[in-house]
Amino acid sequence: MKQDFPEITSFGTLFAFAQALEEGLIRMSEEASTKGGPKAAEAGQAHKKHAKRAKQLERLRRERLNEVVLQPLEGMNRDAYAPDLCCPEDASGSALALAKAEEKAALFYEEAAEKAKSVLGGMERTLKKLAAESRELAASIRE
């Protein structure tokens, strides 16, 4: 499925990108887990994590983002972070596509954490945690 990702021009759009990313990864990991195959359990675990992360991001947006939502943000290009969220028909191809999407998510969250550091210190830790989780999920799927 083709996912529309917003341009990343402010902290508000950074969070809109993150929410779109998590929604896409929820769908993709669910689809990969239902195809079976040797990595179905890992994809199911990814599905649970992404559902939890989407709720966490929504809570952060509600609680912390109001003060900086319109603050301009430079140096983050949507195309560098937007993964291909299409799941191939076969189970192994689907797992590989999910691993690649997780790696893109990790890159996005790592660089978003750097941007948030100067503005929202507490949010930096959360974004770094999301990046680490995506790296771990990608590694577990690739093993």
**Residue 1 within a domain:** no
Q: What per-residue confidence (pLDDT) applies to 97?
A: 92
- Report the alpha-carbon distance of residue 134 to residue 20 in Å, rounded: 15
State both tokens at 57.
């991001």
Query: What is the maximum span of the chain, computed from C-alpha positions, in angstroms?
Result: 46
In a domain, 4, yes or no: no
Q: What is the CATH number of the domain that holds 48?
A: 1.20.1260.10
Would residue 47 count as lying in a domain?
Answer: yes
Give me the pLDDT at residue 11, please.
82
Question: Position of tokens 């599905």?
Answer: 47
pLDDT of residue 68: 65
Residue 20 lies in a domain: yes
Does pTM surpass 0.85? no
pLDDT tens digit at each of 143 positions of the chain: 567 899 999 888 888 999 999 999 999 999 999 988 888 999 999 999 999 999 998 888 887 777 666 677 888 999 999 998 887 888 888 889 999 999 999 999 999 998 888 776 678 888 899 999 999 999 999 88
**Do the domain assignments include residue 5?**
no
Q: Is 96 a member of any domain?
A: yes
* Residue numbers of the domain that contains 82: 11-142
With respect to residue 15, please indicate whether it lies within any of the assigned structural domains.
yes
Considering only CA atoms, which of 8, 45, 5 is closest in space to residue 21? 5
Number of domains, the chain: 1
| Percentage helix, strand, coil for the chain under 3-state DSSP, each rounded to 5 | 70, 0, 25
Residue 2 lies in a domain: no
